Amino acid sequence: MKTAILGGGASGLSCAIELKRRCPDADVIVYEKLDAPAKKLLATGNGRCNLSNREVDVSCYNGDSSLLYTVLEPFGTKECLRFFDSLGLITTEEDGRLYPQSMSAASVRDVLLQEVDRLGIPVITGFQVESIEPQEHGYRINGTESADFVVLALGGKAAAMHGTDGDGYRILKTLGVRYAPISPALVQLVTENPDTEALKGTRVRGTISLHREDGALLAQEDGEIQFTAYGLSGIAAMQLSGDAAVLTKTEHPFVTLDLCPGMTQGNLELYLEDRRKACAGRPASQLLTGLVQKNVGAAVLRTADVDANADAATVRDIVLARIARTLKGWRFPVTGTRGFKDAQVPRGGVPAAELKEHSLESVRHDGLFFCGELLNADGLCGGYNLHFAWGSGIRAAKEIAQHA
């Protein structure tokens, strides 16, 4: 039995290891496009490799629920830690996020490749997949390589510099496999608000909410938000980007920023009334000095149409209310997101309808499996996407082992 695993990233390597452990006599080969496997892994978690999360749940993902349950029900946090423990990797936790003890992604890559070497799994690098042809028994790859089983672990289209440039979708088309439209996810938002240019580089903590163009609330995140020359970044903003990228294809959504989530608008108005008294005889620009950063306060006053040079004592109650509303719901029209080049993962991919029930095997081609970013599943920032990569690779391996 020969299994060709196309793609030497997180899902491909975990698949190869699990399959060879279960079927020691099986012929398992990994084919990698780049000159070395797992290069993208080195860039994850800012080089620290956030490999999983203490709280893994289907609710932390977008995509087909049945597909997510197929992967995540048998592969939770405990199973993930057990897998890495078997590789000799010691992990540590930081706010629920799981990292290697060394805080170096290279450690994760090294233990994976050491196990691949120990198991005697060949890794053929510089291998560009041009074609996959189903045969009467198995598959032919690039017209030269044959295999009984094929695992497509080619990655998506995010961060093409690491080899995931969308080749997998081209292969899916040649095989007649349908996939949900793809768009960037975990990426920066592009907005129309001109104040982001003046605030670029400034970081705040607050609540960011994504609304449809009719005002309906779609999603909300708390955490750090960073202003950029083109819009909004930071983990909280990026968590909303997958939904925003889809929405902007058909409508004009917007986000609102709550810069004071711990205060009600009423409390803010009372605070501003006190500040008005304290700042009498001084410019209105000082009204927000003790509340937000100076440049953020200036932008809020501009948005609320307040003359920053006017005497603070002359600012009317109706204007204070407008300032408070801006602090609680600063509106930024969203025109799109940054592209796949800047995205961490893609949204979309092979849906459950293209898979056998409770399986990662193609419903169209026996012996053809999918794992990792090619599947219609993407998670929040925090180790969820790598967790899905390990889990889907291991799931595919278990299914192939059952066939064998």
Q: Are residue 193 and residue 166 in the same domain, yes or no?
A: no
Q: Are residue 46 and residue 158 in the same domain, yes or no?
A: yes
**pLDDT over 90, % of the chain:** 95
**Which DSSP symbol is given to 165?**
S
Q: Are residue 158 and residue 298 in the same domain, yes or no?
A: no
Instruction: Give the 3-state secondary structure of residue 97.
Output: strand
Rounded Cα distance, 325 and 373, in Å: 41
pTM of the model: 0.94
Band of residue 380 on the pLDDT scale cut at 50, 70, 90: very high
Band of residue 195 on the pLDDT scale cut at 50, 70, 90: confident
Mean pLDDT of the chain: 96
Task: Tell whether the model's pLDDT for residue 49 goes beyond 90.
Answer: yes
Q: For residue 66, what are the domain limits?
A: 2-184+346-403
Rounded Cα distance, 16 and 345, in Å: 22
Q: Are residue 156 and residue 219 in the same domain, yes or no?
A: no
Cβ pair 139, 369 in contact under 8 A: no
Pairing outcome for strands 345-349 and 2-6: unpaired
Number of domains forming the structure of the chain = 2
Task: Tell whether the model's pLDDT for residue 225 goes beyond 90.
Answer: yes
pLDDT value for 197: 82
CATH of the domain at 358: 3.50.50.60
- Per-residue pLDDT of 50-81, as tens digits, reads 999 999 999 999 999 999 999 999 999 999 99
Q: Are residue 31 and residue 172 in the same domain, yes or no?
A: yes
Mean pLDDT of 366-372: 98
Q: Are residue 208 and residue 172 in the same domain, yes or no?
A: no
The residue among 297, 313, 338 that closes a domain is 338
Q: Are residue 175 and residue 216 in the same domain, yes or no?
A: no
Q: Are residue 19 and residue 167 in the same domain, yes or no?
A: yes
Task: Tell whether the model's pLDDT for residue 164 goes beyond 90.
Answer: no
Q: Are residue 360 and residue 333 in the same domain, yes or no?
A: no
Task: Tell whether the model's pLDDT for residue 209 goes beyond 90.
Answer: yes
Q: Are residue 109 and residue 209 in the same domain, yes or no?
A: no
- Per-residue pLDDT of 334-349, as tens digits, reads 999 999 999 999 999 9
pLDDT value for 251: 97
Q: Are residue 84 and residue 176 in the same domain, yes or no?
A: yes
